[in-house]
Amino acid sequence: MNEAFALAYKEVVGEGPAPFDEYRRHLGRYFPDIMRIMGLPLEMEEPFVRESYRLAPKVPVFEGVVELLLTLRVRGLKLAVATGKSGPRARSLLEQLGLLPFFAHVLGSDEVPRPKPAPDIVEHALRLLDVTAEEAVMVGDAPTDLASAQGAGVTAVAALWAVDDTDELLAARPDAVLRRPADLLDLCPPVPGA
């Protein structure tokens, strides 16, 4: 999404380097919130979304993710996505990557009253999945993911395989840490009768 951010920045703000480092520090939040925090024009959202859709086929699926999702399905676990992206953009991206069928629900920050780090999106996912906070885990690669999970009383799990700044993510005090996708299997035993 760096390329989409750079193109949106150039289109709306003009010349000069896009502030990638600051942008990356806020990943996991809803894009309009990131723009407000960074003091950038909200008008960047339209070109960012447009370019995100266009560039979606270039997004890599991390090694081991598909195998993890297949195993979780066989184990009978219900899965949802709770993302800082908008719901339509998240569903489109997952569909283009061939991952949408693994998830019972895909929730975007635009579909809850308060985006991450508030717990609203996690609480909504729990209701849709019909599970308690104690039965759930949330895997995230941003401090806002972990804060949202913790606020909802859900086990917060840090995914380090896709993170530039592991110190920042670990400072959010996750309940567990995953160094590779398959590590999640230790936290997710099969559902009885699955």
Judgement on whether residues 89 and 127 belong to the same structural domain of the protein: yes
Judgement on whether residues 77 and 173 belong to the same structural domain of the protein: yes
Please answer whether residues 148 and 82 qualify as being in contact, where contact means their C-beta atoms are separated by less than 8 angstroms: yes
Judgement on whether residues 76 and 46 belong to the same structural domain of the protein: no
Preceding peptide of 32 cis, ω within 30°: no
For residue 108, give every residue at least 6 positions away whose Cβ sits within 8 Å of its Cβ, in sequence order, or none: 83, 84, 85, 86, 87, 88, 89, 90, 91
Please answer whether residues 85 and 114 qualify as being in contact, where contact means their C-beta atoms are separated by less than 8 angstroms: no
Could you tell me if residue 192 is inside a domain? Answer: no
The boundaries of the domain holding residue 33 are: 2-58
CA-CA-CA-CA torsion sign (122, 127, 130, 131): positive
Residue tagged 């990131």 (tokens) = 34
To 5 degrees, how large is the angle CA 177–CA 179–CA 181?
100
Could you tell me if residue 9 is inside a domain? Answer: yes
Judgement on whether residues 34 and 96 belong to the same structural domain of the protein: no
pLDDT at 47 over 80: yes
Residue 194: pLDDT band by 50, 70, 90 thresholds? confident
Judgement on whether residues 43 and 99 belong to the same structural domain of the protein: no
Given this model, what pLDDT does residue 122 score? 99
Give residue-wise pLDDT tens across range 144-193.
999 999 999 999 999 999 888 899 999 999 999 999 999 999 999 998 88
Judgement on whether residues 48 and 75 belong to the same structural domain of the protein: no
Average pLDDT value over all residues in the chain = 95
Given this model, what pLDDT does residue 103 score? 99
What is the number of structural domains in the chain? 2
Give the integer Cα–Cα distance in Å for 40 and 16: 13
Given this model, what pLDDT does residue 15 score? 81
SS3 155: strand
SS3 176: strand
Give the integer Cα–Cα distance in Å for 104 and 80: 6
